[in-house]
Amino acid sequence: MVVTCRGNKVRETALDNTPATKANKGNHMLWLIAIAVVAIIVAPVLLDPNRSRRRNANTADSLIAQAGSEYLRGLNDEAFMHYRQARDIARANSAYMLEAEGNYGMAQIYERRRDYNSAAQCLRSILATRAHWEQYHPNYAALVERYLSEIEAKLAP
């Protein structure tokens, strides 16, 4: 094929405009669209700054549930271990309500062991973080205070 441009003749070679080039451009565009779609879907999940915090909160929550089951079955050592793990994970992630639940469970086990000083310490620890969770669970403080007064009554004699 010959193209005339202002009196000059320019010849296109077979490499300049191959039929495969147009098909490849279409395939490249499809790949770019596919990559863009995957990036739009996957990027928020992978780049979510709270992903590990939520995963840790879920871990602490499941540990508390497991510990509660063990507590009801009388497996105090296992329950205590899981409550403490949950509390430590929650504390590291500033999940104050989960930390409070872990401390409350530990206080119950300390009470079963008749270690009232440690039980009271756990309950005081819950009340120390009260400002972080009280607006979401306003009645929980009254429950903890009532339980603390029962434990302190056992300490008095």
Residue 157 has pLDDT above 80, yes or no: no
Indicate the residue type of 82.
H
Indicate the SS3 state at residue 87.
helix
Measured between alpha carbons, how far is 11 from 3 in angstroms, rounded to an integer? 6
CB contact at 8 A, 91 and 72: no
Q: How far is CA 105 from CA 24, 30, 36, 62, 149, in A?
A: 64, 56, 48, 13, 16
CATH of domain 53-155: 1.25.40.10
Inter-residue long-range contacts of 39-43, CB under 8 Å, 24+ positions, other chains counted: none
Look up tokens 């329950």; give the residue: 79
pLDDT tens-digit profile of 9-53?
555 554 555 555 555 566 777 777 877 777 777 766 666 556 666
pLDDT digits (tens, 9 = 90+) for 95-138: 899 999 999 999 999 999 999 999 999 999 999 999 988 888 88
Indicate if the alpha-carbon torsion angle 56, 98, 85, 68 is positive or negative.
Answer: negative
The whole-number average pLDDT for the span 141-150 is: 94
Whether the pTM exceeds 0.75: the reply is no
In this prediction, residue 134 carries a pLDDT of 87
Collapse the DSSP code of 50 into the 3-class scheme (helix H, G, I; strand E, B; otherwise coil) and give the result.
coil
Name the residue ranges covered by the structural domains of the chain.
19-48, 53-155
Q: Whole-angstrom Cα distance, residue 150 to residue 157?
A: 12
Instruction: Report the amino acid identity of residue 16.
Output: D
| H or E stretch covering 79 | helix 76-92
pLDDT by residue (tens digit) across 48-100? 556 666 787 888 999 999 999 999 999 999 999 999 999 999 999 888 999 99
